C-alpha cells in the first residue's frame, strides 16, 4: 500500500503520527558540528611564565612519570604562546580542564570559582587567551566542577570551624558533625558525601536554592565577562536534573549559541531531551574503538554491531555534536593502550574522525605522547618533538583537514559500515553526490584493491597500479 496521507488515515495510522512542534525540537548551536576539539590539561601543556611557578616546581620533562602532587608550571600564557601551533594543526575548539583557584595540579577541587588560579595567571591573561583564540577561529570551553567543591574553600572551612552552627551546613550532604576526617580508618565512612570518597572534595547540595544561585552566577559570570563559548560539566550524572534544566536556561539567556557538554560515561538519553545538555562525552564509542583497534579483544561483527547500535542512541541533532574522544585526563593514553604501536593508534584515530559528532584529541596525541592511568596520563607536553618531519604530527594535520572537508558528508550523510572480508571493515558516507569511503585492515593478511583517489593512506603500498593495505593499515578515499 502506498504510504500516502490518505492511506495512512484509512488504516487508522493518522492518529499515531506525532506532530513535531518547533519549540519541542532539540536546538543545537550551529558552530559545534564543524568543530575539531583539543583537550588541554593546563598544568602540563606549556610553562609560559616561570614567575607563576608554585614552590617546588619540577623541570619540564615529558619522559617523567608524574606523581599526583607534582607541579611543572603549566599556565595560561603557555597556551597563548602556542595558539599558532594549534591553529596550524587545524584545531578550532579548545577544551580546558579547570582553571579556577585550587590547591591541586588538576584543579578539580575548586577553592574559588570566581578567580583564576594564581599559578595559571590572572583574569586579564585569560581574557587575552579568549580573544586570541577567537581571532584564530577557535572556541573556548571551560570545565564546570559543580558536583563538588574543594575542602579549602571558604564554604567548607566554615563548616569545619562552626559545625552545625555554620551558615553553609546545608550547602553539603552532611551525615553527622563534626566533619573531621582525623583517625578515620575507612574513607568510605566519611561523615559527609564526597566525590569518589575523596575527603578533600565534599559534594555540593545542588537542590539547595543558595547553592544553585551561587553556581548559576558562576556559570553566567564567565560568559558575560569573558565571552566563553562552552561549558563542559564534570560528573554531570551525579547532579539533579532540575539543576541542569535551570543551568541551561541561565546560560543560554546570556549566550544563546553556548555549547553545553555533559560528562556522562554511559548512554545518556535522560539528559538529552532538549532541556538540559546539547551533548555528552561519547565514552561508549571510545570503548568500542579501543577494544577493537587497540586491544584487539572484540570481533569485527561485534564491533560493527556496537557502532551501528550507538548511531541510534540519540536524535540527529544530538548525534552531530556528541563529543567523540579516545582518551583524556581520566584515562590511560591511547598509545599506552596500544602497547606503543603507533600504527594502531593511527587506525583508531582515523576511524574516530570519520564518525558523526565532533572529534577531540588529548594534548600530545599528535606528538605520540604516551602514559598509563592517572596521573601518568598527565605528562608534560613533548614540545621537543615538534618538527616539520614528525610523522605523527603530519598525520594528524592530514586527518584533521580531511575531517573538515568532509564534515557535511559525515554529519548529514547516509552511513554504511560492514565487514567485506574477515576482519576487513569498509566504511562509507554518501551525501548530495559526495562519497567518503575508508577501508580498515585488522586482519593478518594484505588486502589488494583497485587504486582510487586516495585522501589518506597508512601502512599501504602501491603494486602494479593497485593498492595493498597491509595489516593494521587503512585507506581513506574522498
Same domain, 326 and 468: no
Strands (E), 303-378: 323-324, 358-362
In a domain, 466, yes or no: yes
Same domain, 355 and 467: no
**DSSP-assigned beta bridge partners for residue 359:** 324
Give the active site residue among 117, 263, 306, 327. Answer: 263
Residue 21's pLDDT is 75
Same domain, 398 and 426: no
Residue 9's pLDDT is 57
CATH number of the domain enclosing 426:
2.60.40.1180
**Residue range(s) defining the domain that contains residue 455:** 421-477
In a domain, 296, yes or no: yes
Same domain, 152 and 200: yes
Same domain, 320 and 442: no
Strands (E), 225-291: 230-233, 259-262, 279-280
- The pLDDT of residue 3 is above 70: no
In a domain, 7, yes or no: no
464 or 129, greater pLDDT = 129
CA-based torsion, 404, 405, 411, 416: positive or negative: negative
When pLDDT is cut at 50, 70 and 90, the band that residue 451 belongs to is confident
- The pLDDT of residue 4 is above 90: no
Boundary of a domain, candidates 367, 390, 412: 412
In a domain, 347, yes or no: yes
The answer to whether residue 234 is catalytic is yes
Same domain, 283 and 426: no
Q: What predicted TM-score, i.e. pTM, was given to this entire model?
A: 0.94
pLDDT digits (tens, 9 = 90+) for 215-252: 999 999 999 999 999 999 999 999 999 999 999 999 99
CATH number of the domain enclosing 338:
3.20.20.80
In a domain, 21, yes or no: no
Same domain, 77 and 142: yes
- Cα–Cα nearest to 423, from 360, 477, 478, 474: 474
When pLDDT is cut at 50, 70 and 90, the band that residue 396 belongs to is very high
CA-based torsion, 197, 202, 205, 206: positive or negative: negative
Same domain, 304 and 430: no
Provide the grid cell at 465. Answer: 597500479
Residue 379's pLDDT is 98
Same domain, 426 and 404: no
The mean per-residue pLDDT over the stretch 416-440 comes to 97
Report helix, strand or coil for 320: helix
Provide the grid cell at 115. Answer: 578567580
The residues, any chain, with a CB within 8 Å of residue 72's CB and separated by 6 or more, are: 43, 44, 47, 57, 58, 59, 60, 66, 380
Q: How many domains does the chain have?
A: 2
- The pLDDT of residue 183 is above 80: no
Cα–Cα distance for residue pair 34/22, rounded to 1 Å: 23
In a domain, 224, yes or no: yes
In a domain, 168, yes or no: yes
In a domain, 23, yes or no: no
Same domain, 160 and 89: yes
Q: Are 130 and 82 in contact (CB under 8 A)?
A: no
Boundary of a domain, candidates 395, 412, 429: 412
The mean per-residue pLDDT over the stretch 44-60 comes to 98
Same domain, 144 and 191: yes
Boundary of a domain, candidates 394, 412, 430: 412
Same domain, 226 and 110: yes
The mean per-residue pLDDT over the stretch 323-336 comes to 98
Residue 1's pLDDT is 43
340 or 6, greater pLDDT = 340
- Cα–Cα nearest to 43, from 377, 475, 327, 326: 377
Residue tagged 548512554 (cell numbers): 267
Residue tagged 605522547 (cell numbers): 369
Give the active site residue among 43, 101, 117, 234. Answer: 234
Amino acid at each position: 500500500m502506498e504510504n500516502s496521507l490518505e492511506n495512512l488515515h484509512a488504516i487508522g495510522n493518522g492518529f499515531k503520527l506525532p506532530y513535531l512542534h518547533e519549540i519541542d525540537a532539540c536546538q543545537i548551536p550551529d558552530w559545534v558540528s564543524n568543530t575539531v576539539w583539543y583537550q588541554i590539561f593546563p598544568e602540563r601543556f606549556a610553562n609560559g611564565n616561570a614567575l607563576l611557578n608554585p614552590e617546588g616546581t619540577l623541570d619540564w620533562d615529558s619522559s617523567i612519570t608524574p606523581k599526583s602532587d607534582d607541579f611543572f608550571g603549566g599556565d595560561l600564557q603557555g597556551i597563548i604562546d602556542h595558539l599558532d601551533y594549534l591553529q596550524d594543526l587545524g584545531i578550532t575548539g579548545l577544551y580546558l580542564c579547570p582553571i579556577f583557584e585550587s590547591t591541586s595540579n588538576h584543579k578539580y577541587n575548586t577553592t574559588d570559582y570566581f578567580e583564576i588560579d594564581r599559578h595559571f595567571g590572572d583574569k586579564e591573561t585569560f581574557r587575552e587567551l579568549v580573544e586570541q583564540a577567537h581571532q584564530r577561529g577557535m572556541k573556548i570551553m571551560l570545565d564546570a566542577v559543580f558536583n563538588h567543591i574543594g575542602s579549602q574553600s571558604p564554604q567548607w572551612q566554615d563548616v569545619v570551624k562552626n559545625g552545625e552552627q555554620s551558615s553553609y551546613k546545608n550547602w553539603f550532604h552532611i551525615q553527622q558533625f563534626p566533619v573531621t576526617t582525623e583517625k578515620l580508618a575507612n574513607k568510605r565512612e566519611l561523615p559527609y558525601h564526597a566525590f569518589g570518597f575523596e575527603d578533600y572534595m565534599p559534594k555540593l547540595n545542588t537542590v539547595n536554592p543558595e547553592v544553585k544561585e551561587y553556581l548559576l552566577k558562576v556559570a553566567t559570570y564567565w560568559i558575560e565577562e569573558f565571552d566563553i563559548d562552552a561549558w563542559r560539566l564534570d560528573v554531570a550524572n551525579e547532579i539533579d536534573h532540575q539543576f541542569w534544566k535551570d543551568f541551561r536556561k541561565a546560560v543560554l539567556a546570556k549566550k544563546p549559541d553556548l555549547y553545553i557538554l555533559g560528562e556522562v560515561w554511559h548512554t545518556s538519553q535522560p539528559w538529552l531531551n532538549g532541556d538540559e545538555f546539547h551533548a555528552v562525552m561519547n565514552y561508549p564509542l571510545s570503548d568500542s574503538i579501543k577494544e577493537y583497534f587497540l586491544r584487539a579483544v572484540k570481533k569485527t561483527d561485534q564491533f560493527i554491531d556496537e557502532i551501528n547500535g550507538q548511531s541510534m542512541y540519540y536524535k540527529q541533532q544530538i548525534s552531530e555534536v556528541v563529543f567523540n574522544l579516545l582518551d583524556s585526563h581520566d584515562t590511560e593514553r591511547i598509545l599506552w593502550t596500544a602497547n606503543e604501536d603507533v600504527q594502531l593508534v593511527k587506525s583508531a584515530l582515523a576511524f574516530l574522525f570519520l564518525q558523526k559528532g565532533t572529534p577531540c584529541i588529548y594534548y600530545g596525541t599528535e606528538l605520540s605522547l604516551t602514559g598509563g592511568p592517572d596521573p601518568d596520563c598527565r605528562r608534560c607536553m613533548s614540545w621537543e618533538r615538534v618538527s616539520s618531519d614528525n610523522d605523527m604530527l603530519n598525520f594528524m594535520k592530514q586527518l584533521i583537514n580531511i575531517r573538515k572537508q568532509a564534515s557535511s558528508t559525515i554529519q548529514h550523510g547516509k552511513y554504511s559500515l560492514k565487514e567485506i572480508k574477515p576482519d576487513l571493515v569498509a566504511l562509507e558516507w554518501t551525501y548530495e553526490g559526495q562519497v567518503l569511503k575508508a577501508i580498515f585492515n585488522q586482519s593478518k593478511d594484505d588486502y589488494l584493491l583497485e587504486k582510487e583517489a586516495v585522501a589518506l593512506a597508512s601502512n599501504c603500498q602501491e603494486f602494479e597500479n593497485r593498492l595493498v593495505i597491509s595489516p593494521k593499515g587503512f585507506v581513506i578515499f574522498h
